[in-house]
Structures are given as C-alpha cells and as structure tokens.
Structure 1
C-alpha cells in the first residue's frame, strides 16, 4: 500500500482499493513471469497474436468511430494500420526474437551488420522477410548504435532482459498515449520483453472506448497477472506514479505532463515548490521514468531537377506527414525547410498548397488542438486557411520562432526557406533543424536520386549530423514507428531537467542495446515511375501510392486487407489487396 497524499484526494477509498488490488495481482504475476522460459514466453505471445487477430475489425472500427470517421470515410484505413496491424507486426517480430534466443542464438543471427559514419555499427533491421521485401519493396531500415559499440558487442548484447532467466523486473506503470491506438499495447510489450516488467496500463481518457477491445485482445496477458488495464484521469495518474509498489514509469505524452510528474505543477500555489525542487535537483518522482514526448519535426526538401509528377507526388507525401490522424501525431511533420534558390521553389509551393487543400476533411478531435490552431492563426495572421487546416508560409523578415518551437498537434504546416543549393543547403538545413526546432524525435528528408548521388559521402555525413531518434529519407518517419524491428524514441542525451522529446526507446523487437537512432530509406518515385528505365538510379517499388498517403483513393480497403492478411494469411486476400493498391 501507499500513503494517501494531496495528489490523490479526488480518489475515494474504493477506487484506491481497486488500484491496489490490481497492483497486488501484478506483483504475483511478476513472480510467475520471471519463472517462464523464453520458449514459454514465445508461446504466450502466439496466444496474444491470435486474440489480437480476432479483435482486429472491432479494434479498427471502434478507433475510427471514436475519431469521427464513419464507415464511408476514406481515411478509416489509418486505424487498421496504426492499430492492429502495428501490434500484429510487433508480435511476429518479438516471437521470432524469442524463438532465436530459445535456440541459443542471437536475435541478430542472419541479420546484416555493417558500419555507419562516425564509428557507429549499423544493423540492417528491415526488411528481414521475403514478404516484406516484396510488399514494401524500395523501403529499408537500419538501426545505428551509439559510437564505439562493435558488431560483435551488438550480437552479444541483443536480447536485453531475455538473455538471462530468473530476473524479476517488478511492476511498471505505462501511461498510455491518447492518439494512436497501438501505442499503449506496444509499450506494454516492451516493458515485458526488454525489461521483464509486468505492466499496469492506465489508458488515456481519449481511448476509454477501446478498453473492452484491449481487454479481449490482451486476455492471455491479463489472465496470468502480467497486465492490468485501468481507466482514469489525472487523479488516478497521480496516485499511481507515487505508488511505492510500482518500480518504473513510462509515459507517451507531452513534456508538460512529464515535468508535472517528475517535478510537480508549474502553476498554482505549488509552483514555487516545483521551482525549488528543480533548482536543488530534487525530483518529486522517486522512481525511474522513460518517455516519448514528441516535438516539432522537420521535412528537409533538397533542391533538384524534378518533373511535374515528382512535385505532385512529394507534395502529397508532405501533406500526409502533417494530416495523417488530423495531425494529432508526435511525429507529424510540421516545418518544411526548402531552398530559396531552388529554381522550382514556387512550383513546389503551388503543388504543396494543392495537395494540402485537397486531402479529405476530417474532425479535429484531439483535446486542446483547436486552441493550438487558434494560437497559430493569431501568431501568423497571413496563414492560408484551407478547409480545416492552416498552411503558414514564413515570409522574409517574419519570425518563425512560434512555428519552430510549438508542437501544434493539429493540422498546422509551415514552410521556411534557407539560401543555398546542393551540399551547402543540406548542411544549413541540418544545422537549422538541430538548432532551431524543438525536440529530437524524428526528421524527414526528401532528395531525388541524381542529387543524392552527386553529393556522395557528404549526404551520409549530413544524415549522421542530424540529431534525431528516427531519420527518414524519401519516406516518413512514421514508417519507422510502424516497423517493429526498428527503434522509436528521442535522440540520446536528454535528462529529467531537460527532457526534450523523451528518454529511452521502445519497439526495438530485435532487443538491441546501445541504440542511437533508426534510419529509414524509401523510394523517391512510385510505381511505374520507379522502374529502372525511368527512375534515374532510384529505388524500385511496386506501390503506385503507399496506403498511408492521405491522397490514396483505396487506402481504407488496402489497409484493411493488409491487416487481415497479416492476421490470417491467405493468397486470395493478398491478391485482392494488391489489386486495390494498384488503383490508389
């Protein structure tokens, strides 16, 4: 039991007793978990996979309905991909890792390991299966480890807590995200597998409707006491973060919420005490905490010689980075950085305006987002108002500080310009993103194959210089989020007092130690323009338009089909889905 404090006075005795009972059950579950072999844990995950597959349709439908997307809305497919599809992929990857460990092998057996700039080790973590090579041809992903970690050390340390049996990790608290429905589940899995901690999941109130779905999907973890799911607002969160029987906290949310947990309230009668604690480095929270907290993500557009089709496609790409889930994403691209000396700059601006305006309308549903949009409109009164969204084009002499330091978490996109072309522009854009934009979670970069080739080793050096936890080249960093064998989290180096985009990583199904970042690479041109005869040395892909694009006409059907195929297999399902994809 924990002593009652002022923070939990809104909870009555029955509520506290119910939470304590859940924690007591989890403590017993932690002892049971510690005695399971790696093989038994893999078997358990297979049972979880079956129950997630059985609830996939209900999961996606409930999530879409809670966000105001009716049965005919073209963007309903987002809830299939960012919900059950992501979890099924993670379970498959974790099962493979555990199976290797159970056989006495490293999770990196069969995985290509090489060198990256700056003395780093590079793990080629995607694709690892023939099916992924086919369906997502043109896309690849690497995990870069921190400088000094050798390939041999990477192999030896892969597996984290699963490399040793019998260690009891206790009970951790997961404060679930409120925007993407797979996040709470993925965070629970990482607690179990990376740290041997069973988990108490407090669902964000925005996802209360999904609790019955989660309970069915995760029943194999709930029954033996490895997971409990609770609802509640700030009072429940305060009670649990202070609970002495919870050994760790993981949060996906905002830096303001993190600071309130660690240091105390920043306003009101207790703000003075919070200031003193910070000054004296005396955190209010007495247990370790990890966090994923978002930020302002750049989209660097390197100037080149683009066709009209290139301009249109990449404009739709950028619109997707901002407008997927209505911009309520910690990884939504927010600031386009482009060259003022690019001969096609005005053409690209026009294409971006068209693509941004043409995306399907949808509700701005996340709490607080309308007020942040209003603040953006007040900060930039000349912004273009396009349906339910804002496009801010920073003019000469206009202050970009608010745009670059405020995570709007809403459909607000900005464009800033820097001088230069080629390597000069790229280096300046990287420095601008590192120094002027808030956060280090993810950065996006768009470059045509001919320009990338002309930069040579300077391009790889620039990628290494980007201080972001995920870097996406001709892709969106969300591809890194949805790929379980990649890692997700801020660039290393943040502290409790200056948390930035967070501390630690999640996902990481290869269970790698010493992670610095993930690097995603995608095709600059879609099919059929990705064919070698047309592509100028770029990557081949079979996708005419990725299903996560907000401009995809068949996204809902393709996303559902891919999830059903991931869940149940079946060549008929796959062929039908691919035919829909070709009509995107």
Structure 2
C-alpha cells in the first residue's frame, strides 16, 4: 500500500481550500451589508473569547517568560488591534447600511499642498481619555475633495455583489494581528475570498486563528492553512487564485514575483515577472527617527531615549516599522547627553530570545561591518554612521535589535531640511518615519514643520510618537508611500487597516505628547497620557495590555479606572 507524503497532503489541502473558496464566492456575493456586519461582529466576539489563548500561543513561540512585562506587547499588538479594527469596520458598514458614508461622523480639514485630511483619532470620548494627547490624520492625495472622499469611502462594500475572486494572504510571522487584519481587509475592502497561509513561525496560532475566523470559514469565505515556502509557492501560482497579498521583506517579495537566483534577477531587470497576477504588499524597510535639536530637561532626554529604544526593541526588533537609524544634529549642545541616555535605555530594556529566524546572523553582520558597532546586552548600537559612505545600515532592513546613529549638521530648520532629504534619498523603504522635537522647537518651525511632513515620502509620519501608533489606529491607513511598482517595490504596494475604507489614501500623520503625564500637565501640554504601555521599559505593560484588550472587546465606562491605575503605575 502506498502512502502520500506530508508535502503531497499539504498541496492537496491547499487545492481543496482554493476550490472551497471558488464555490463560496456565490455565497459571499449574496451576503448583503447587514449580513457582512453580523459576521464581522461575530468575529469580534470570537476574538474576545480567544484573546487569552491568542496571547499565550504568541508568548510561547516568542519564548517570553511567564509573568514578563513583555507579554503586554502580545496583548497590544495581537487581539487588541483586531478588536478595535472589527469594531471600527462594523461602524463603517452601519454607515453604509443607513445610506451614508463611513466618513460622515469624522471631521476633515485642509492639509498642505491642496490636500484634505481626515481626522481619525481621537474620534470618541474613549479615545480622548485612553489616548489623551495623541492624534492621527489620514491625508488624501492633492486635489481630492471632501465630497469625493465621502462618496468613494466604502470601497468594494459599495458593490458587495461584485466579488473579485480568491486571494492568497501570506501571513506575517512577527506581529500576530497582521494575518487576521489582512484577511479582513481583503474580504471587506476588496471583496476577495481569502486563503491565509501562515508563516511557519506562527503555526502555534492555527487553532486560535481558525476559531477567530470561524464565522467566515463556516460560510466558505476564508480558509487557514499551514506549510512552508513550497505550499506558499503552490498557492500563489494556483490557476484559481486571482491576487496575492504578502507581509515580509522586499527580498521575499522579489523571490515570489520574479523567482530566485540569477534567473530571478534577470526577470526583474527585464520587467518580466514569474507571477502573472496582481500583488499587494507591506514590506518594511529602514525606518529613521529624526531628533531635532533643542533645549531639553534631563527628564525629557531620558524619556525620549526610552522612546527611541522602544521604537527599535519592541517585539525584539522584529517589526517592519522598527526604527533602525536615529538622525541627530552634530551641533546639538545636548547630543552627547542624549546618547548617554540612549545607551542606558538600550541597556535597561529587558533582554529576550532571538525568536525570528536569521536574527543572530544579521546582528553578527552589523558587528562585523561597522567599527563603531558595540554590543549592549543582546542588542547592537552603531555610532558614527556616514550617509555618504556605502553601508547596510541605511539600505538593508536588519529585522533584528540593531540601532544606528547618524549625525548631520545644522540648527533645527537647516538640520530638518537635510534630515528629510537624507531620509528620502538615502534610506531604503517608505513605510514610516518618526520626528521628535521639543514643543518650543515645533512652535519655532511653524509652517516649516508641515512642509517637512509633506516632503517626507513615507506612508506614516509620526511627530513625538512612534509610527506604531498609526498601526494600532484602526481607522488610519497603513502601508508604504504610494507609487511603488513590483520591480521597485520598496515598502510595498497598497494599504491595509483603513477601517473607514478610504479610496487611495496617501499617508497617515500621527502626533503625540512630548512628555508623559504628569510632567506634560506641569509643562502646559494638554495630555493625560503616562508612559505608553508599548514602551519596552513599562513595568505594568502586561496588565495594562490585557485590560485594554478586555475593554476593546466590550467598551464600558466601568473598565476605565483599572486601566488608568495600571497605566499610571507603568
């Protein structure tokens, strides 16, 4: 008797999954807005029910010790954004059901360069309390009017009966909300049925993800599979698959689209892809943090050093939008003191296992390439980078706990101009950029700050906040700056999240408080936010993260005191 191999069995399962979705397309087409909202609300409920198991499975594969404050990251980037995302998307569907637009309840304002911005955060009273001092605007491209924004918001949900076939989502292995959010966006924003192929790193979440997506699996709209690169290749080239969406690196994208080795490189140069179907993607890159010179207190220096350390070390450094290079002014009088605090913040952050494949090799590569590289615990700091010299720090995403420091000359205005040019022209990728500046510096810059934001070719720009806040804001768009092509993909093509279903957003601009409360209030900043729970140095991140996810599952006033108490102890 002959038996099939595991690989054969996996390919057969993949074929059955695609066939199921092809059959399920007529069922999904027949689901009107009310039915789609009801299914989404059931997913929301399932996420709340599975949240603890979700976090436990994520902590297991990342090898986080039980009781570690770092488990807060898994609450805040796992079930929490899926809960807020499903809630916001359901609200958009309700607006469409009522004959309106998802943006009707949101304000708009003029943005530089003939643009219109949609204020997506804060939106509710809960936002103003839980994220006091933070804001987010989605900028639309120049020339798009407010009425056009309103009439086009909703995307494929304006024509739910016009389905668009089957897509393969190649799931991320780092942030566990990404695969589920990508599935929901493909299904609801683009009307494509979805087969999700998990990254092997996250196979331990298979049971959780199937439980969370069960309402959509049951009607034949979603399938969730495991398997290696061979199964991913089989799926993306399947003749019944119409589209591919992936999260990963530009190198992985090119391997999928053009193939590997010399033949793949030749296809890319010739512009003749191996994959003959549309591909959208979110691919990361080398994200900079621009620190503008000013006169800061020692507490400000220490807090912002921890902020930068968080931007690099959150999730062990395995974030597509982790800051990889800090750009500071060589003429800043407090430069040396800031670097003392930055080294201390990197040393103070908890160490953790290098769970993502290849991390140790990438760390070793940075240490061997740069004479100014030094180990600080399990991470690396590279000082003395030169934007005019060849090197990997500005052109290769390390996806590891490696942070570089690049100095440029100039006082705030001239330095900012040079930093913007350097970030645009020298850095690989366009996903996110951070700017940190004292409120007095921002006031002095005036319109020059908006001009700098406008010039930065990045999908998310954060001022005194981490671009990760944009990722966590369900109503914000998330993705590369628009305009990339498959043969120069940079940080990807298309956007995700975008729960207002805005058509063709250009970028998200996030702003946050320069100082945490209570210092912010004493300095006259209108913010009640203490040290954010996503800081790697937050002592109560695990408790605060769990409480936030519980609140997102069932928003209620009675839950707020416990959240505030935990956050203040952080």
Determine which of 282, 287, 291 is the counterpart of 2:277: 287
Determine which of 319, 329, 336 is the counterpart of 1:329: 319
Determine which of 554, 557, 562 is the counterpart of 1:568: 554
Query: Is 1:547 equivalent to 2:536 in the alignment?
Result: no
Q: 2:244–2:278: 8 Å Cα contact kept in structure 1?
A: yes
Q: 1:200–1:230: 8 Å Cα contact kept in structure 2?
A: yes
Deviations 1:39-86 (A, max 9, x none): 111111111111110000110111011101121212110000000001
Query: Is 1:165 equivalent to 2:166 in the alignment?
Result: no
Query: Is 1:182 equivalent to 2:182 in the alignment?
Result: no
Deviations 1:418-451 (A, max 9, x none): 0001211111101111111110000000011111
* Equivalent residue, structure 1, for 2:523: 534
**3-state SS of the aligned residue for 1:402?**
coil
1:377-416 aligned at under 5 Å gives the runs: 377-394=367-384, 399=389, 401-416=391-406
Q: 1:125–1:142: 8 Å Cα contact kept in structure 2?
A: yes
| Separation (CA, whole Å) in 1 of partners of 2:165 and 2:535 | 41
| Separation (CA, whole Å) in 2 of partners of 1:66 and 1:288 | 32
Determine which of 420, 425, 429 is the counterpart of 1:430: 420
**3-state SS of the aligned residue for 1:249?**
strand
Query: Is 1:339 equivalent to 2:329 in the alignment?
Result: yes
Deviations 1:126-166 (A, max 9, x none): 11111011110100001111112111111110000011231
* Equivalent residue, structure 2, for 1:493: 483
CA separation of 1:190/1:395 partners in 2, compared to 1, >3 Å: closer, same or farther?
closer
Offset at residue 382 of structure 1 (A) = 3.3
Q: 2:133–2:529: 8 Å Cα contact kept in structure 1?
A: no
Q: 2:385–2:404: 8 Å Cα contact kept in structure 1?
A: no
**3-state SS of the aligned residue for 1:582?**
helix
1:80-91 aligned at under 5 Å gives the runs: 80-91=75-86
Deviations 1:103-131 (A, max 9, x none): 00011102111111111111111111110
* Equivalent residue, structure 1, for 2:214: 219
* Equivalent residue, structure 2, for 1:370: 360
CA separation of 1:312/1:28 partners in 2, compared to 1, >3 Å: closer, same or farther?
same
Query: Is 1:525 equivalent to 2:520 in the alignment?
Result: no
Deviations 1:545-566 (A, max 9, x none): 0000011111111111111121
Calculate the TM-score normalised by the size of structure 1.
Answer: 0.95
Q: 1:322–1:413: 8 Å Cα contact kept in structure 2?
A: yes
| Separation (CA, whole Å) in 2 of partners of 1:352 and 1:90 | 34
Q: 1:149–1:514: 8 Å Cα contact kept in structure 2?
A: no
* Equivalent residue, structure 2, for 1:4: none
| Separation (CA, whole Å) in 2 of partners of 1:479 and 1:10 | 45
Offset at residue 570 of structure 1 (A) = 4.8
| Separation (CA, whole Å) in 2 of partners of 1:202 and 1:324 | 25
| Separation (CA, whole Å) in 1 of partners of 2:78 and 2:223 | 19
Offset at residue 573 of structure 1 (A) = 3.6
Q: 2:387–2:426: 8 Å Cα contact kept in structure 1?
A: no
Query: Is 1:21 equivalent to 2:16 in the alignment?
Result: yes
| Separation (CA, whole Å) in 1 of partners of 2:69 and 2:13 | 41
* Equivalent residue, structure 2, for 1:361: 351
Q: 1:471–1:517: 8 Å Cα contact kept in structure 2?
A: yes
Determine which of 197, 200, 217 is the counterpart of 1:205: 200
* Equivalent residue, structure 1, for 2:286: 296
| Separation (CA, whole Å) in 1 of partners of 2:266 and 2:181 | 36
Q: 1:177–1:252: 8 Å Cα contact kept in structure 2?
A: yes
Offset at residue 355 of structure 1 (A) = 0.7
Q: 1:389–1:412: 8 Å Cα contact kept in structure 2?
A: yes
Offset at residue 13 of structure 1 (A) = 4.3
Offset at residue 454 of structure 1 (A) = 0.7
Unaligned runs of 5+ in 2: none
* Equivalent residue, structure 1, for 2:449: 459
Query: Is 1:351 equivalent to 2:337 in the alignment?
Result: no
Determine which of 223, 226, 245 is the counterpart of 1:250: 245
Calculate the TM-score normalised by the size of structure 2.
Answer: 0.97
Number of residue pairs aligned between Structure 1 and Structure 2: 567
